[in-house]
Amino acid sequence: MDIRFAEVVKVLENVEATTQRTVMARLLAGLLRKTPPQVVDKVVYFLLGDLRPPWEGLELGVGEKLAIRAIARAYGVPASRVEDAYRRVGDLGEAARRAASEARKKGATGILSFVQAEARHLTMGRVYEVLYRVATASGEGAQDLKVSLLSSLFADASPEEAKYIARFVVGKMRIGIADMTLLDALSDAFNVDREALEKAYHVYPDIGRIARSIAESGEEGLKGISVTPGVPVQPMLAQRLSTASEILGKLDRKAWCEYKYDGERAQIHKVGDRVKVFSRRLEDITGAYPDVVSYVRDSLAADTAIVEGEIVAYDPSTGDFLPFQELMHRKRKHNVEEAMREYPVKLILFDMLYLDGRTLTDLPLLDRKAMLASVLNENDNVRHADWGIFVDEEKLDVFFYEALSEGCEGVICKSLAGGSVYEMGARGWLWIKYKRDYRSEMGDTVDLVVVGGFHGRGKRAGLYGAFLLAAYDPSTDSFYTVCKVGSGFTDEDLVRMYQMLEPLRIDHRHPRVVSKMEPHVWFVPELVIEVVGAEITLSPLHTCCMGSVKPGVGLAIRFPRFTGRYRTDKRPEQATTVGELLDMYARQKRVKAAE
């Protein structure tokens, strides 16, 4: 049982043409409904532009050059022709489509006969299998094998099919189907409760596997899904408040408070001697941190465990912590050994989710802390986060300023209640972050998604001069604009932004973006950047929280400025939410009134 690849492609074309999120979800649901359960996982992975869940780290290992060679070989044209077309249109998919259709017209055959190909309709199963073989080809001759596998796939494909295969191969689908969109579609297609689906997804973020389970056994299929060492769970997130008194008010007047370290969040899985480090967006970042791997081996007296913490860069000559940017320098270096020496790190742990066969996520905070303490041998490289329990606002404030003077961003206050479980994937009130004061200045930064670009002029000609930014609304899985930002970018930043956004360029507003402004160029919502502004104001131009404060107006950030910080560690769905901006606005108003 299989589905014709042409059917998948037809839906992708329709999805690409729509600007309505509801239409997008309906199209996807329709496709999933008619896909046989045996291949539903493959369809789902393909829609997401992957072969396996991203945390498995399986890569095709095919760069543009190789892909161009495969296309050229399949259609019997010189690689330079394909390359030229690609440079002209900026989309390898379109270049492949053109090459395929010209070859068809000419009746040229490349290495395989098109007549034969017509008879041999591609199925999703076949496409997946070939791509999987491409990804797993290794050792001597792997490159050639990859090219010949791909070129046979292209030779069998219709022009439209070739377009999506090419885009998939170079990792630039330009569709912006996100996990949440697919969960909606799955819930609709298989009549499974949306919340149950999301819960399963937080515990085991593999939409392919979830799709397959429910396609085969309906909601029952979700029962077998549980926390599994080796498989990252969606991290718990924190709400934010700006005064110690509000925080203690929310947390029953007693809070466990910890320094908020300015590094990279790490979810670390240890299974015997094997250690894996996952980022906040659940990518396998083990390769970048061999030192962290050995720290964990040396300091955790557990056979199987999942712990969470922050990897922080420090200056070995003073022992002082360094900001997140330093860590990013390290990650950009190719030579890991050298990077490790130049930018040493410490591991600061703050939670434990699994220990030797037992899932701990349903335990209250203090029990999890106790379990962590029972197996952690602290040393110079690994230790628990600095903490204190506070009932008194002034003492909490002193702790907060101490954290700032230690190079931390502030503190995170955690609930000590009986129900203080580890809420996977949730941004609830069990954890509250306390950063700088809001006052009337917008002291805190926000992480926003780039959804549009405006052409630059003068020195910025040929690049983008400004960007349209949006906040995320989890209840509609959409992005709402909140400012246009042009300041804070160095010349280097502008070039980098251009390069990062190029593969995300689309010719109309993305269906998950809600905007009244019309930028010159639209992007698939993917890239997150950090921004700070003077304050949050009301504006009729932006759609963020439209009508929440006053009819017909939304929220906007006044005088926004890029902080220089690319939040590539965040998925767009982890950007600042519209709800957070509304809270910030309300708080700012209260502070102003008090003054």
Q: List contacts with ligand AMP (CB under 6 A).
A: 237-238, 258, 260-261, 265, 280, 310, 350, 385, 412, 433
The tokens describing 191, both together, are 């009549």
Amino acid at 123: T
In sequence order, what DSSP letters do the residues of 307-330 get, joined into one string? EEEEEEEB-TTT--B--HHHHHHH
Using CB positions, name the residue nearest to ligand AMP.
265
Active site residue 42: no
Cβ 427 to ligand AMP shortest distance, Å:
8
Query: Annotated catalytic residue: which of 260, 276, 414, 435?
Result: 260
Give kind and range of the element (H or E) at residue 11. Answer: helix 5-17
Cβ 365 to ligand AMP shortest distance, Å:
11
Cβ 41 to ligand AMP shortest distance, Å:
29
Cβ 157 to ligand AMP shortest distance, Å:
42
The tokens describing 104, both together, are 């068809």
Q: Which of 122, 120, 172, 151 is nearest to 9 (CA)?
A: 122
Cβ 149 to ligand AMP shortest distance, Å:
40
Give kind and range of the element (H or E) at residue 17. Answer: helix 5-17
Find where tokens 């219709």 sit: 158
Cβ 388 to ligand AMP shortest distance, Å:
12
Q: Which of 562, 329, 538 is nearest to 448 (CA)?
A: 562
CA-CA-CA-CA torsion for 519, 522, 528, 531, nearest 10 degrees? 0
Give kind and range of the element (H or E) at residue 505. Answer: strand 505-506
Q: How many CB atoms lie within 10 A of CB 595?
A: 7
The tokens describing 29, both together, are 């649901």
The tokens describing 175, both together, are 């569709």
Contact (CB, 8 A) for 176 and 526: yes
DSSP at 573: G
Nearer to ligand AMP, 16 or 473 (CB): 473
Cα gap 19→402, rounded to integer Å: 49
- Phi then psi for residue 30, to 5 deg, are -60, -40
State the catalytic residues. Answer: 260
